Structure 1
């Protein structure tokens, strides 16, 4: 990475975050800051070289679940800004809540970030950090606040704390423990640390203003007692910092310049600034301190993004796991066939703003189709098959003859070559492509009508065979021999309908999973009904389909457009072509 310059970044697509960054670069707000080579306190960074990163951002997930599409937007914003401004984005695990966190989630988060096309390694240096690595400094910062008269140990009950906090209509009430001496507070806080008090017996609070109209400034909690095994630090600590206390400290130690959060943290910003101002005055952190900016979180129709609700769906068996293709998790979207490019395009299109709004799911599907169309190979697949018999085949073409047919792998990219398949007496076609009593605008198979079988021949339907229940079991048609696609006679017969098909002789059998939206309403759980009551019972249908022989070559996660059907992906877990097990998930329809 080249040394940074204080010059403004060349003009880029505008939003309020870019405007703030451009202003800081023009003013040289962070141009004198130094970087100690790793996170650390003021002394650590003072001994380092000038920070070559023009900006530093961070993506700070809590490892208590799998990332979802809302996180994909945040990843794109934070890593994308760092990339655009020759900066660095840190991946930081906010692991300050040991009861809900797990190494499984840590690994899944790393995998998701990298799959989206981003990395926390810059110039051979890893910028992957854990909040738990800063527990020693956080404790030191807490003792500093106590000694400065800015924090105290409160031993009220949970009910008293709740009652004394007040609400938007009435101010809070000072705790009876608020005016204890610094020495006494320090003694009690060390007893908390040393495991001499029970959970719930005491908390450490900042001393700010119990009458503040911003309830977040009414002496917020900094530390609580929690006897739990931490996935990283083990049992070393029995007191853990609250997120509102830990988060700004983490930003400061990591030299973050622009701390980008979602709107629910806007009311927390005054405390963020209060804490960093006092720690800077005490010489504990680098200056100038980071600044927090908030943007609207992603609200997407027909989706829930609450980690609690997503975990409930998994734990109660409503879905097959965190990577179920119906889930809005990044792992689920990936298995469904979404691409990093589609999610990035979606994030770019919806942009960032300060106003909460709902994004219609079709906006995401539109970005997905736009990304898949130019890259996806084509194939013909019949999802609801019924046999079509060309009754004059032996007479017209010869007994047992198979006519080779071909089609482009991609219609707008001839360099990708051709795919080949055989046309014979017996074919598979879609059941819905036949009607005995068609409407005037039905141009597919019906008695007496001519139809082109795509890339093959024109046929004339002569009728169908039905079961005792009236279901069609076989369709009959006659071949027009001189009408093969690509030959001189192809245009000799005019038809209004063209349908897809596959040959019985060389087709492959596949399991195809037809996924639909997981919920039946645009905003699940928005009313008085439980979001579980709004689950779509028909969100997945599994069918046995027949497809072109080219599908034998597909690899897991390879995306294909099934002509007339939609976009599909070979399942990353269950698709095993070397064993003849072909499994495809529907990603989205064509429209």
Structure 2
């Protein structure tokens, strides 16, 4: 099976190539550089680059930069970086703004053929007439007047928003998109890539088909929200074919697929901006966000994101995908590559009254079901830390961890039993326990019959760590539930704890992902972590119920 799972789009591609409609498959990923990519964009990236890979074609990365007021070089660079991080190498990196001369020439041609006109109506009046299916009073201007006005628009003689160029199709067309759509507007603003040369900028519906035609795209793949726009796409293509340097054939065709949507988060650029600019997250790479750079900082590997897209498939059916599935794919990706180590997120000290000195235990990195070799020396001493939630003074029925009268095994080490509890102000501050002699490395069936196995670290050797426990950004599957989405923010989407790690991790490469036994998958935060002040991000928790 290829990178793109079989779907209606692969059927179209195979048919077109089989029938010789195109000599070569050519696709494009065309983001607007007005923000950072999120996991929803990953579906389009994998689809477009994957098809090119699977069918021996080409895929371009194109900055669809036709709006100078919202686009930035920063975003363009970040987009290319994210695409390459996902593992895809563009066959070319292009900018829509590099085609402005040719787009302008095509607009002049449409005017000369009586297929476009300059409209002076204010936006509100134009919208009202379109809604009623009525023509603009400026619709019947002469070709000469339209040419003169449009050229003066391009020279900057009129203020921003004062005039537009519209296609002359049908003011009462049943498809609202074809009711004389706007092709160009005036914007007096510097463009991050094109500079100050232009003051007229093409609209998406006009620019996009021309970009595809210029680049020789065969299959222009868009999300379903652009389904009605296909009529404009085809109108533009049909009216420039064989003209302005374009061939009669082959021509690009647009096809639509359902976008990727996730529970417990938002993928709307407008809502993400609210979160960032409102200070509700620390920035575009805050690991609580669904942006690709946030997932990258959290520790998610690109392989997991690509596999998630493959697992969810390509179709025309809109559906919100459960966050559980993404987490499952991330765990499946990390499980075979993440060595098992010991750490304590919420520490409770245990003093072993019958143990003096220290020893080093050779502990394997991998469980028996993963056929990998490797171990590390694990220090053991008379004071250790265990997880606070692994102890209960009054355990519920079925409790399988530490408690009065209830032995537990320390992972890779001894069985211990409780002797005393030290409390202050009603809070447990210290446990006193004893090591059961002869139980180091013994089997659970050695007659000791401990209730469970818990993790620990040696207090004498432990590395202090700031643990950042990331969870779901919103409390509800649909953040819009109940109205204002910000009201559904999860106050525990980030919980910071001060804990400890076993010392072996200090020597590991910084990008090592670990499974902290019974806690989840973690790695060093690439921004804030330092050798002298470790910060560990939880990438994803273990499956519910696995910890016990």
TM-score tier (shorter): over 0.9
Q: CA offsets per residue over residues 226-255 of structure 1, 9 Å max, x none?
A: 000100111100000001110110001000
In the alignment, which residue of structure 2 is the partner of 1:482?
438
Pairing 1:495–2:450 present: yes
- Say if 1:555 and 1:570, in contact at 8 Å, map to a contact too: no
Pairing 1:590–2:547 present: no
In the alignment, which residue of structure 2 is the partner of 1:137?
102
Deviates most, 354-363 or 517-526? 517-526
1:531 to 485, 506, 520: 485
Aligned residues: 541
| Distance apart, 1:195 and its partner CA | 0.7
In the alignment, which residue of structure 1 is the partner of 2:417?
460
In the alignment, which residue of structure 1 is the partner of 2:161?
200
CA distance 1:149–1:526, shift in 2 (3 Å): farther
| Distance apart, 1:11 and its partner CA | 12
- Distance in 2 (alpha carbons) for counterparts of 1:313 and 1:201: 34
CA distance 1:181–1:456, shift in 2 (3 Å): same
- Distance in 1 (alpha carbons) for counterparts of 2:197 and 2:324: 49
- Say if 1:261 and 1:294, in contact at 8 Å, map to a contact too: yes
Pairing 1:407–2:399 present: no
Pairing 1:111–2:81 present: yes
Deviates most, 437-446 or 147-156? 437-446
In the alignment, which residue of structure 1 is the partner of 2:62?
92
Q: CA offsets per residue over residues 7-62 of structure 1, 9 Å max, x none?
A: xx99984200000000001100012xxxxxxxxxxxxxxxxxxxxxx211000011
2:30 to 52, 60, 63: 60
- Distance in 2 (alpha carbons) for counterparts of 1:150 and 1:564: 68
Pairing 1:567–2:518 present: no
| Distance apart, 1:415 and its partner CA | 4.4
1:439 to 382, 396, 402: 396
In the alignment, which residue of structure 2 is the partner of 1:423?
380
CA distance 1:333–1:243, shift in 2 (3 Å): same
| Distance apart, 1:520 and its partner CA | 1.4
TM-score by length of structure 1 reads 0.89
In the alignment, which residue of structure 2 is the partner of 1:18?
10
Instruction: Please state whether the residue corresponding to 2:213 is helix, strand or coil.
Output: helix
- Say if 2:36 and 2:291, in contact at 8 Å, map to a contact too: yes
Pairing 1:246–2:207 present: yes
- Distance in 1 (alpha carbons) for counterparts of 2:242 and 2:192: 34
CA distance 1:362–1:488, shift in 2 (3 Å): closer
CA distance 1:55–1:305, shift in 2 (3 Å): same
Deviates most, 250-259 or 512-521? 512-521
Pairing 1:504–2:459 present: yes
| Distance apart, 1:553 and its partner CA | 2.3
Instruction: Please state whether the residue corresponding to 1:495 is helix, strand or coil.
Output: coil
- Distance in 2 (alpha carbons) for counterparts of 1:294 and 1:554: 46
In the alignment, which residue of structure 2 is the partner of 1:51?
none
Instruction: Please state whether the residue corresponding to 1:160 is helix, strand or coil.
Output: helix
- Say if 1:554 and 1:570, in contact at 8 Å, map to a contact too: no
Deviates most, 242-251 or 489-498? 489-498
CA distance 1:434–1:245, shift in 2 (3 Å): same
Query: Is there any run of 5+ residues in structure 2 with no aligned partner, and where?
Result: 544-548
- Say if 1:555 and 1:575, in contact at 8 Å, map to a contact too: no
Q: CA offsets per residue over residues 513-563 of structure 1, 9 Å max, x none?
A: 011111112111254x22122211221111111111112124443211110
CA distance 1:283–1:130, shift in 2 (3 Å): closer
Pairing 1:470–2:426 present: yes
